[in-house]
Amino acid sequence: MNKVGLGISPSESWHRDLAKLIEHIRMRNFPDILNETLRHLTSFNTSLIATYKHSYKPIVVLSTHSQRLGPTLTKYINEVYILDPLFNAIQQGLGAGVHRLREIAPDSFESTEYYRSCYHEFDLVDEIILVIPLDNDVVFTISLGRKSNLGTITRAERNTLNSVFPVISALVHQFWLAQSSEYVHDEQAHNSMEHALSTFGSGVLTRREQEITGLILQGHSSKSIAQLLDISAGTVKVHRKNIHARLNTSTQSELFSMFLNHLNNLASG
């Protein structure tokens, strides 16, 4: 089906899709209808609809990722989501709207072990995210992934998503009011990012070194860390050297592996 070019006035197919969304707004299959509607507006290979609240594990509302990627997605949800640029941008107050992952990710994201061992598995060249803050500190996200066969999102496609975003946001608010109890489960404080990062290297690293370790794992370069913490890049390099010495690691891969072991210990504890 041809994609909808909204321009100034919405097309006939957009009106049909909108009517269908409204019809299903309080039903469990609303996310599927929403996903279908978005496919009529822009091209994407995969989609993941999820909610985030504070630093708890994300709740998956809908995923179209292949079965082959099931273990990778499970690893993301249960462990490494706290290193995801989207998750961290939300923690820092990412506003409502249409965003691209490359615009919110740290400058060295693609060199992180998280990217190489997890995100890279999804084989995406671009990711567009609709971010919709809801009540009770819940943030509803719709992530649309594009592979190399589609290329990166065009300006026209992004303009289309920006045009319909207020309508989609309003509909999602109503859906969540009706259906949130179907998705929300008990929230365990020990799953929080703050706890995981603040206890990693506890008793071995200083508070400042723990802070820098978290930023390294999230994909910040020494320059970016220096700017965030208002210290010199040289000081950051000294801290990085001390971190590896204290933890007996020499690469980010070893640091990442140690952090995953830490997460597993927290979960089993």
Residue-wise pLDDT for 237-249, tens only, equals 999 999 999 999 9
The second-level CATH assignment, the architecture, of 12-182 is: 2-Layer Sandwich (3.30)
Sorted by sequence, the CB contacts under 8 Å of residue 94 that are 6+ apart come out as: 86, 104, 131, 139
Question: Which pLDDT does position 190 carry in this prediction?
Answer: 44
Higher local confidence (pLDDT), 100 or 13: 100
Of the candidate ranges 26-30, 78-82, 189-193, the one whose mean pLDDT is the lowest = 189-193
Residue 193: per-residue pLDDT = 64
pTM to 2 decimals?
0.81
What pLDDT, in 10s, does the model give residues 189-212?
445 666 787 889 998 999 999 999
**Domain positions in the chain:** 12-182, 189-268
The answer, yes or no, to whether residue 74 has pLDDT greater than 50, is yes
Q: Looking at residue 20, what is its pLDDT?
A: 96
In this prediction, residue 269 carries a pLDDT of 62
pLDDT of res. 133:
97
Cβ-defined contacts of 181-185 (< 8 Å, 24+): 182/28, 183/51, 183/59, 183/61, 184/59, 185/59
- pLDDT at site 7: 46
The residue among 3, 1, 41, 37 whose CA lies nearest residue 19 is: 37
H or E element, residue 97: strand 97-100
pLDDT at 8 over 50: no
Residue from 232, 234, 231, 240 nearest 206 by CA: 240
The rounded distance, in Å, linking the Cα atoms of 51 and 57 is 9
What is the Rg, in whole angstroms, of the alpha carbon atoms belonging to the chain?
20
Per-residue pLDDT averaged across 62-79, rounded? 83
- pLDDT tens for each residue of 98-121: 999 999 999 999 988 889 888 888
Give the model's confidence band at 1: pLDDT under 50 very low, under 70 low, under 90 confident, else very high: very low
CA separation for the pair 20, 39 (Å, rounded): 14
Residue 38: other Cβ atoms inside 10 A: 21
CATH topology for 189-268 is Arc Repressor Mutant, subunit A (1.10.10)
Spacing of C-alpha 247 from chain mean position: 28
